[in-house]
Amino acid sequence: MPLSTFHRQVLGTCAATLLTGGFSTPLLAADITINMAAPDWPPTRFFKEHFDKTYKSPAGHNTTLEMDFIPWPSFYERVAASLTSGEQKYQMIVTDSQWLGSFVEGGYYLDLTEKIKADPELIAIMEDLHPALVSAYSTYPHKSRKQLEEAGSAIAPDTHYYGFPQFPDTYVTFYRKDIFCHEGEAAAFKEQYDATLPCTYEDWQDVDWERYAQIGKFLKRKKGEQLAGETLTDDFYGISYQAGKGYDFSSMQANAFIWQHGGDIWDETNAPEGQAEGVVNSDVAVEAFEHYLSMIPDMPPVAQTGQMDIFVIQDLYMQGKVASTIDWVGLGEPVLDPASSKVHDKSAFGPAPGLRKEDGSIDRTGNIGGQPFVLTTWNSDEVVDEALNVVKWWLDPDTQIEAVSNGGQSGLMSVMADPSYNDLRPWNRAHVEMIDWQKDVWHIPLFFEMLTQQQEEFDKAITGQKSARDALDAVAEFQQELLEDDGFIE
């Protein structure tokens, strides 16, 4: 019996469906390339590696991820140059949260609010993300964690969302077990300060800035002196934290001191009423900044040059020149690598110290690190939807566990609550403890101008050219004028 035209069409369609892989795959599968700008470090390298191994587009597209791994020191400039030149090269960007304002106002970062509202999977992700991360990484104009929590839903009204966590980072304490757990050193410390030299994680939970300063004085030794039963061949130091002029390499730590003491930086959520003068240079802020500066003389001498950035302290620690450092979790993986670290088998991790309050508890408020990724505005709907599929893939609990096992971190509360989480990497317990304390610096387009001037003034104080009071007065005056000029302060 000859086939009718209708039968031929039905058979043809079935054959085509079978040939293209079944009913789950649409007939219009496309080749999609997502170009992503990313800083060159292990968390983003893993992202690419894992994507190539495991990602399958739920839409059936043939999706390729091309990542531009840009060295950290030039990352901002390279991204900024690409965006402002109009080359429209990137579909996704791993961005510092503070750049949101600058590049949202420039029209480069895509507002994802409506996409999130329309997608139950994305809403579920937002509900599961730690609120400190949603506040810092996603909202512009910036909404504080308190404002978001008061809204009572994952998607707060009158709030615009832009980013999802690619790598949520906090700073923790890296320390040498062979020194801090040495019986002789512990006994000597006990005798000198009538206190415990922290050895276990639980000991570090009780370390406040006063104790950390004592450690700095106690473990500062000259070449030829004894340390943990060995004669030193070089000068040695006990403590270190970031105090560098570049980028935000002193503000991140100094802000922590200011918040812990009860002071504040200029708060963009209070604009336009919130002032800079009187807040930034308040007596409490000055006292906090003096506290930050007070420990620097006991740190490695590079601190006195204003060049002790996050990479320098990591390096000094890995080269065995300092017994402990307060640095980002993202820089922890090389510390455990025998190829790059002399202390790979002697290191442990604890929470960062904080300020002890009157009730005996410790305030560890800190400045959040890490980066969200965002989408750019010039992509077709098809590319945007596929980029959001990549976001969902990355924030899937299985992918997140894999990322954490390879030195990454998760921002999903369900993943962090997993009983196995703390054991996946040695710093995870500290990260989970620290993330609840995180706040963020400014997100407005004037961010970089404010940061550069603040870093310069902080550097003058760090290198002894100015007092803490004079430095903060200069910062406050500059910010007041700049923010008034741009309408952020009335």
Partner 1 sequence: MTDVAAVHGHAKSGFWARLTAPENRGPLLVAPAIITLFVMNIFPLLWSFGLSFFNYRANRQNVPEFVGLKNFERVLTDEKIWDRFQTTAIIVGSSVTLQLIIGFSLAMLFAKHFPMRRIIMMLVLTPMMLSFVSVGVFFKLYYEPTFGLLSWVVNLFSSEPFALLSSSTGALIGIIFADAWMWSPFVMLLVLAGLVSVPKYLYEAAEIDRVSSWRRFVTITLPYIKSLLLLAILFRTIETFKIFDIIYIITEGGPGSSTESIAVNIYRMAFQNFRTSRSGALAYIILFIVIVLTNLYLYSVNRRAHEETL
In whole angstroms, how close is the CB of 308 to partner 1 at the nearest point? 10
DSSP 373: E
323-350 b/e (C-beta count within 10 Å ≥ 16 → b): bbbbbbbbbbbbbbeeeebebeebbbbb
Which residues, other chains included, contact 300 with Cβ-Cβ below 8 Å and sequence gap of 6+? Answer: 237, 240, 308, 316, 321, 322
CB 85 → partner 1: shortest distance, Å? Answer: 9
Closest CA relative to residue 288, chosen from 209, 368, 174, 211: 209
Q: Which residue has the tokens 């890995």?
A: 318
Nearest distance from residue 480's CB to partner 1, in Å?
A: 16
d(CA 80, CA 380): 22
Q: Residue 232 Cβ, how far from partner 1 at the closest point, in Å?
A: 13
CB nearer to partner 1: pick between 304 and 405: 304
For partner 1, which is the closer residue by CB, 94 or 316?
316
Q: How far is the CB of 87 from partner 1 (least distance, A)?
A: 13
Cβ-based nearer residue to partner 1, 100 or 362: 100
- The pairing of strands 62-70 and 31-39 is parallel
- Please, what is the minimum distance in Å from the beta carbon of residue 341 to partner 1? 15
Considering the complex, what minimum distance in angstroms separates the CB of residue 307 from partner 1?
A: 7
Please count the CA atoms within 13 angstroms of the CA of 186 that sit on its side-chain side. Answer: 13
Our CB check for partner 1 shows the closer of 96 and 264 to be 96
Yes or no: say if 263 and 282 are a contact pair by the CB < 8 Å rule.
Answer: yes
Closest approach of partner 1 to the CB of residue 252, in Å: 16
Cα dist. 104→83, 141, 380 in Å?
A: 11, 9, 18
Q: Which of 420/465 has CB closer to partner 1?
A: 465
Considering the complex, state which of residue 235 and residue 396 has its C-beta at the smaller distance from partner 1. 235
Query: Smallest distance, Å, CB 310 to partner 1?
Result: 14
If DSSP codes are grouped into helix, strand and coil, which group holds residue 143? coil
CB of 79 to partner 1, least distance (A): 11
- Residues in contact with partner 1 by CB under 8 A are 76-77, 80-81, 83-84, 102-103, 105-107, 222, 234-235, 245-246, 300-302, 304-307, 316, 319, 321, 445, 448-449, 452, 456-457, 459-460, 462-466
Residue placing its CB nearer to partner 1 in the complex, 224 or 272: 224
Helix locations, 329-436, DSSP H = 381-394, 397-405, 413-416, 421-424, 428-435
In the complex with partner 1, the residue whose CB is nearer, 388 or 461, is: 461
> Are residues 372 and 409 in contact, defined by beta-carbon separation less than 8 angstroms?
no
Report yes or no: 238 and 316 within 8 Å, Cβ to Cβ: no
Q: Is 119 exposed, middle or buried (0-12, 13-18, 19+ CB in 10 A)?
A: middle
CB of 99 to partner 1, least distance (A): 9
Nearer to partner 1, 116 or 322 (CB): 322
Tokens coding 471? 């430095």
Please state, in angstroms and rounded to a whole number, the distance separating the CA atoms of residues 171 and 251: 13
Q: Is 56 helix (H, G, I), strand (E, B) or coil?
A: coil
- Between residues 9 and 319, which has the closer beta carbon with respect to partner 1? 319
Quote the least distance from Cβ 463 to partner 1, whole Å: 4
Q: Of the two residues 319 and 380, which places its CB atom closer to partner 1 in the complex? A: 319
Closest CB to partner 1 among residues 203, 456 = 456
Q: 362: which 2 tokens?
A: 């410790």
Residues 6+ apart with CB under 8 A from 181: 199
Given a contact cutoff of 8 angstroms between Cβ atoms, the answer to whether 216 and 298 are in contact is: yes
**Alpha carbons 207 and 356: distance in angstroms, whole number:** 9
CA distance 443 to 145: 14
Beta bridge partners of 115: none
